[in-house]
Structure 1
């Protein structure tokens, strides 16, 4: 199994209630039911307010590297990523467990 973690940081001046952000969150919230490769799916806003904290997180798992690539290439994932590119940056980690 592979864990795929993504931490998002909203760009300077962008707030959670920005319509672009709302659309981006909605797109990611739906992914768990749209991408068959996903074995688990969680996404949510960070609940802490520390200077080093990121704002939003995705935590999901897939069976193997081939499934990870299918997830990354999935049109609904790509559509969500395109939305987030407009207002955030992010870091990822993929690891086997």
Structure 2
């Protein structure tokens, strides 16, 4: 199994209630039910307020590297990423477990 973690930081001046953010969150929340490769899916807002903290996180799992590739290329994932590109930056980590 591969764990796929993503941490998002909203761009300066962008707030959680920005309509673009609301749409991006909705798109990512829906992915768990849209992409069969996802064996585990959760995402939500960070609840702490620290200078080094990111704002939103995705914690997911797929079976193997082929499944990860299919997930990353899936049209629903690509559509969500396109939304988030407008208002955030992010970092990822993928590891086997």
TM range, normalised to the smaller chain? over 0.9
RMSD of the alignment, in Å? 0.1
Unaligned runs of at least 5 residues, structure 1: none
Deviations 1:29-56 (A, max 9, x none): 0000000000000000000000000000
Deviation at 1:27, TM superposition (A): 0.1
TM-score by length of 1: 1.00
Aligned counterparts of 2:27 and 2:96: Cα–Cα separation in 1: 26
Structure 1 segments, 4+ long, off by >2 Å, are none
1:42 aligns with: 42
3-state secondary structure, aligned to 2:15? coil
2:59 maps to 1:87 = no
Aligned counterparts of 2:4 and 2:29: Cα–Cα separation in 1: 15
Deviation at 1:7, TM superposition (A): 0.0
Equivalences for 1:21-32 in 2 at 5 Å?
A: 21-32=21-32
When the two structures are aligned, how many residues end up with a matched partner? 97
3-state secondary structure, aligned to 2:48? coil
TM-score by length of 2: 1.00
Unaligned runs of at least 5 residues, structure 2: none
Aligned counterparts of 2:42 and 2:30: Cα–Cα separation in 1: 10
3-state secondary structure, aligned to 2:33? helix
Equivalences for 1:58-73 in 2 at 5 Å?
A: 58-73=58-73
